[in-house]
Structure 1
Amino acid sequence: SFSRGVETLGAEASMVFVGNTRHTVPYMLKHSDLFDELPDKFYDSAFLDRIHFYIPGWEVDIIRGEMFSDGYGFVVDYLAEILRSMRNYDYSDQYKEHFTLSSDISTRDRDGINKTFSGLMKILFPQGGATREEVEEVLRFAIEGRKRVKDQLQRIDTTYGEVRFSYHDQQGQERLVTTLEEEEYPGYYHQTVSTPDDGELEPEPAAGVKGGEPKEPRASELVLEEKHLTFQENQKGISFDGLFGAYLKGANKITVTDPYIRLFYQIRNFMEFLEAIVKNKAEEDEVAVHLVTVRDEFKGDLQDESFEKIQESARTVGIDFTWEFDESGTIHARHIVTDHGWKISLDRGLDIFQHYEMNEAFAFANRLQQFRSSKAFEVTFIKV
């Protein structure tokens, strides 16, 4: 507000903070919090509690040329006028026909969720007509962003109590919302940060976690069991070795069925799968690997050439690689079957990673799978 003569004028505005973090997400969760980069003047729990949403920028892909539309669009001034006029409308009640927020969510949390939901619905579905599934996806996203704020507040200020961020469908079934970093780093995520005498930040271990250190079990330490795993969009820390290694160990023959080992990046995925087999076999052992796929209509010659190179290279490390092209036109299932009793069902096959720069020699995502963002996918391990 400001004064001109005897009149006081006022206006409303929202604030958006954009910036980079100097540290990785696990580092911030272990040593400080996700608000660590904010200037001291803003690093106040009462102020941070007014933030509606925290966008996980580390999940946002780098803008590339193929992301831009080649169709018609509005000029910026015109689009800005449209968005300004839509401020008069409230879309926050559009989920209430299908879902109800948990009573554990406070008024301030609820306001943040509702405002984010309303804004996203105006942008994505200004004409209305969103399906129940689309409404739920936007609602979960809005809840997740507010939960990320509140979870960090609990680390900064212990007077903030825990909140169960969930919602209920029409049948009364509760659906819990988590953040991706909560799933990836459970040992660091639910801990408070105390300040010892030397002034350095030290993590207080989460309950039930020794030293607050999450440890990924080695393939040799895993217990083989039938199970079903679900992975979220943009999740990291995933590798073929970590997923399949223990189940491939000891197999003499492995059959991979995947109709989409056609394009270069798909064939490279398969090569990395062979690397996981090599890591988990004794040097003196040999493993027969047979691939059943579909010949590409336009790049079949590339497939042949690539498979022949893989076959030649694989012989030197004890892998007997063979392949066949299914011509029935009915192959759809994607799975891995071993001769020692395991079937691994893959809803996306080996194509589980988001786009990354394969030609960038100095990018860790190019060298190590665990630094790539994944697509949403599911894996089922079945004892045959």
Structure 2
Amino acid sequence: MTSEEQQTRQKTILTKLEEFFQGRYVRKDLTQRIKEGANVPTYVLEFLLGQYANGSDSEAIEHGVENVKRTLANNYVRPDEAEKIKSKIRENGSYTVIDKLTVYLNTAEDRYEASFSNLGIDGVPVDERYPQDYERLLIGGIWSIVRLSYDHESEDHFHIEDLTPVQVPFVDMKEIYSGRSEFTTDEWIDLLLRSMGMEPDEFDDRVKWLLISRLIPLVENNYNLVELGPRGTGKSHVYKELSPNSILVSGGQTTVANLFYNMTRHEVGLVGMWDTVAFDEVAGINFKDQDGIQIMKDYMASGSFARGRAEIQASAGMVFVGNINQSVDVLLRTSNLFEPFPEVMGTDTAFLDRIHNYLPGWEIPKYKPAFFTSGFGFITDYLAEVMRELRKISYGDAFDEYFSLGSQLNQRDTIAVRKTVSGMIKLLYPNGEFSKEDVAQVLTFALEMRRRVKEQLKKIGGMEFYDVNFSYIDRETQIETYVGVPEQSSATLIPMGTEKPGFVYVIGHDSDERLGLFKLESQVMSGNGKLEKTGIGNQREARESMDAGMRLLLTNFRKIDQRIAPKRHNFVLNVSNLNGTDTTSHLALASYIALASIGVSRPTLDSLVVIGDITISGEPRMVDDLADTLQVAKESGAKNVLLPISVVEKLSEVPSEVVATFNLIFYSSADDAVYKALGVN
């Protein structure tokens, strides 16, 4: 889009805002300009700006900004100045303050009373018309401009003369539904991003969708989202600044009582008080209670948890954000995309399987000044209340009329996809007006976000999670569309084409019994039949295994090629674990093949991986976990697989789509494996 087209779209959006959302929008750069000098919540600032600095006339805006500054300077109550303000109220008889009020019913006195957050007073009588007109006073409180008077004779002393909310007291959803119909989808996306403080003209469509999907936990009940990526991409900003209905838990330390339920006070914790509970820096998450993770798993699965005899229901979503300190390609080769989580969570497949959306934070560019908008967007508090109202409806079945889900999605996959579809539809099409093409785009996005979770579960949990080939089927044409994840295509460890002589890939278990891909590299030089082994440290079993491969070469080299003459050469073998740092002891056959390959200067077959090992006498060993081993081979990019003939009867246990990935080559002995690896008939 050209600069001229961008300006035209901005003007069109502003014109529609003025017509259909009068008083509901603000110029976003003004918020930051004032916030630097006043520690007031963003949603309070933007409400005041919406009242005083609304519209597109620059002179009127500047006049309004001065009014807002003056109002804040004179009336905003700072907690450290509470006694000074109370004194002013007493000495002057009355005074206007800006503070957060929470109203509750005092049944003993049969009256409503208010508690002032920063001023630090409570028990202040409230006229019943205020909670009737502004229900949010009773639900978590509301920031307001309040005229307080002081009565020396009364027991209560403080009295409310007038109360005007400075947050949106209620939302007419008909305004949103009818107003959305006047915007194109692209215009609406731009408006949402500017409402978040971002300048949409700086991002491509893919990044726009990723940024907007951060809002799903605010519109969808019990939505579990993970976003890991580089620092400086605004991962936690949405949950800290954009809504008064979400809370960001920093530092990681928490307790069951704080998060779920306090048995002593019989009070529900954060999940019952907020729409979204976000954890900043997932690496530091730590429950002081041993059962904390288990309760979290129960809650993430069902939206409920048991404490004592009570079954507690709540609707808060769980969000986990954190940093990835290395490239995604490296992380996929050496570990998995949940690696930044603490071990108790990052290796618990039951916990990870409850995540509905893994948002690829590495695709969002690091913020720079140009990314922050100076355009017009919804007042933050207005948008927050709209999102809260949208939690009452669901569009999880939005695609059922047009599409069905593929066979590889299990029940948890289906729930996750439906929740993401529902959230994105509510954000992009809150009026429920969308086409088949619109739904297909949202469904594709939802399938990708869930598949990213499933792909990592497969790496961690093995064949239990092998069904990752997500798809959807057009009910009308019966065409099946498969949805992948972008980062998987660049994660193959075994390169296409022919490797150098002496290079061999083998799959084996490391010392912790984890399957991994290992690469052997060999060199040859004049000498007297010695073998130097590197990359194995002090691991005796790996050293003995490589020595066994060398003994086979010394004994059987004439069967391969007499020119190898191992007694007249020295060899070097280096082994590296391409999935981690530890090595394997299953290296005898791979070492034999690598030494023979470098000895005859002949490479192995293209994209070949060796499976299985041999005994000291050269007989093939059994392969116990064939399905998992072949899955690792598939993920690593192998095209030719060399494996013992004894596994033929086990191939029926391996999913057909995995077997069909390879050209399977069977060997009956160590020498036979060498011939076939080198392509010798």
TM-score normalised over the length of structure 2? 0.29
The structure whose Rg is larger is 2
Structure with greater proportional strand content: 2
TM-score normalised over the length of structure 1? 0.49
